[in-house]
Structure formats: C-alpha cells, structure tokens
Structure 1
C-alpha cells in the first residue's frame, strides 16, 4: 500500500508529454483523412473508404464534423504498426511502411504444400535485436528485444542481424555493427576473441587507443576486432 501511495504521489507531481487528466488537442476530420490518403498512397476518399471497409458517406461525415473515431486509428495502428502519435498528430512519414506487417492473399507454395494466409500471418514476428551479456570474455545470448523500426531508428541501430544489445547489469547498450571504424566512443571489441566494452579513440598519430582508468593502451589491429559502436544506452533507474 505504501508503494502504491508513493506512485500515486509521483504521478500527481509529474507532467506527461500529453495531458493525462484532460483530452488532447489531436487533429481530426479533413486533416487526418488527407493524412490517411497519403499514408496508404490511395488516390481519393473512395479508395480510402474501400480499403477501410466503410462508405464514402461516412468519411464525408467525419470531414464535416472534423472528427475521427479512435477505434479506426487504433485499428490502423495494430494492423500496420504506424504509431498512434503519427496518426493523431502527424510528423515525418518518410520511413513509414504500411505494408511492413502485411502478407499477400495470393497462394504460396512451399515443398509442394499450399501455405495459407493464416499460416503466413502466424509466422510474422516483430523486428528484434538479440541481447547478450559478456561472461568471462564470451558473448552469451540471453534473449531478444522485440521492437519496431521507429524505435531502432531512434536508438541508432539498423536492425541488421549483426546489430545487438549488450546487457550490463541494469544497463542496455545498443550496438551498431556497421560502425567499426574507430573515431571516439564506446565500442564492442574482441582481443584474441575475448570480448569487452571499452572507450576507444583514434589519436592524431593514426593509432587507436583504449582508455581505461586514466591510462591509455595502444590497440593492436592484428589481435583486435571491432564489432560495433555503442550508439545508445538504456538504463533502469
């Protein structure tokens, strides 16, 4: 009960990015209809109504009343993965792919067997990053973090198979495996296949150095392999 009361007090003393205790000033009507037409790359309200399973008269009513039902936006979010934040408020749509979670209705064949739409949908998985810990110099896979492309973009990883997350106590380190040319930062590297995270820096003499507890050590490129750079840190507080 004490913990619950403490959380109640924390919430009452906090400000959220959108008001928790009053309606948001989200967009509606014509603005969202135009956004959906652009999002789905259809030509007009007739085609939009068709793919959403409703009449053009319903869409016209939304435009007249300057409103959109929440159920529709939630449905679009669940079906496509497009964020509710974008659907309600707009923003950059350059990387949004509404087909990312879709499968074709056309029959597919594998090993002489018809693969149904339901079977293909059942195999769908959210994008994920493998999570490891470093134990005695070896990478040990613990689990996977399931996320979406927008979060990966914010975290600075590309979502390729070699990107990963390193769990270090209560801290998660996101590793971009494409960043293997050392400039300055924290990197995942292995010396004779013994893994560690450390602060590496390229100095004007052209050599890479490991900085540790006030000392620096020149890195031997013949025995050291850079596996990626720490591009984001998520810490539990």
Structure 2
C-alpha cells in the first residue's frame, strides 16, 4: 500500500492554551470567560479545547474577517497579531475651494501609512477639494520652490503651480496663463503633497 506525498503538508497548529492565548491577545480579553462571551460560546467549550488540545479554526477565520488579525499568528503563533494593520485617520476636515474662499465640506478618513508615505501628518494636513481633484496640503511647507501650492493673493485663495525664479521672483500659473510675482506679493499656505484626481 502506497502513501501519497502531500504537496502542501499540514502545519503544526497551536492548540489548547497556546491557541486561546493568541485569541485573547487579538480580542483584547484577559480571561477565558471574557473570551467565551466575546464569541458567544459556552465557557465549558474553552475548557474542552484545553483538555483535548483542540484548535477552533472557525474562530480564526471569524476573527480574521472581523478584525484583520493575522491568521498565521492565531494558527501558528508566528509574526505579529496585526501584521498589516493600518490606523485610519477619522475626521480630517475637508474644505471646498469656492470663489477664493475655503468652505467646510465634511470629513474624510485616510490611514496613517498613506499620509506618512507623502510626508504628511493629521496635524499639518489640510484637505481641499474642487471639481477636479482632492488635494492634501502640507501646511508646514510654505517656502515655494516648484510644485502646486495653496496660496493667498490679496485675500483670494487658490491652488496653483509655482516655479521659483532668480531674484526672489515666482512664476505662477493660472489656467493656461502665467505671471511673475515677488515672493512678498503672495502668502503661501502650504504645498500640495498628494492629489486624488477625479475622472
């Protein structure tokens, strides 16, 4: 009699107390009683897992789908509980740019890792939208070199492409036209670090 060689061999899954310890970590419970209540299962069931070294695979899947917890961590004890966890930034105020003024428009959520990738933090990010795009503006970047900036010209706000020129001059694009201005003629309120264009 021949034995088939598995192309994908079985893993050494955690079971019993090791398994429930990982579940407690990802569900932020401290006792098995709390763990049982968290999943709506009898407390005696957990004791059965311990005495028979069982693994509740359905709870691994359920927890992963509900929280994003790592299956590898819960099933094998490897890696971190939330290897791909991102922290959403809730409540970033958005503004619409209307007739040279910013009008509060609502709020937007974006994860911290995305902001960080563009050198942004919630405390220095102003979110502005118009009919063409959503702009994430770094309000700490107020020394214009080359790029899109939120600027104030005589009390009128706009987002324009600016190129620094010799002699403390700036070339400012407005639509298809451009003009030169002194650095002191405008107030730069921030640089556009990230843009989400509307198609």
So what's the TM-score if we normalise by structure 2?
A: 0.59
- Cα 1:45–1:133 change in 2 (3 A) is same
2:186 equivalent in structure 1 = 224
> For the aligned residues, what is the CA RMSD?
4.1
So what's the TM-score if we normalise by structure 1?
A: 0.51
1:199 equivalent in structure 2 = 161
CA contact (8 A) 1:134 1:166 kept: yes
Q: Quick check: which has more Rg, 1 or 2?
A: 2
2:135 equivalent in structure 1 = 173
Q: Report the alpha carbon displacement of residue 226 of structure 1 after superposing the two structures with TM.
A: 1.0
- Cα 1:50–1:134 change in 2 (3 A) is closer
- Cα 1:29–1:230 change in 2 (3 A) is farther
**What does residue range 17-96 of structure 1 map to in structure 2 within 5 Å?**
48-51=22-25, 52=27, 53=29, 57=50, 69-75=60-66, 77=67, 84=68, 87=70
Higher strand content, 1 or 2: 2
**Runs of 5+ in structure 1 lacking a partner?**
1-27, 34-43, 78-83, 102-125
SS of residue matched to 1:147:
strand
CA contact (8 A) 1:155 1:174 kept: no
1:131 equivalent in structure 2 = 94
Larger RCO of the pair (alpha carbons < 8 Å, separation 6+) = 2
Count of residues paired in the alignment: 159
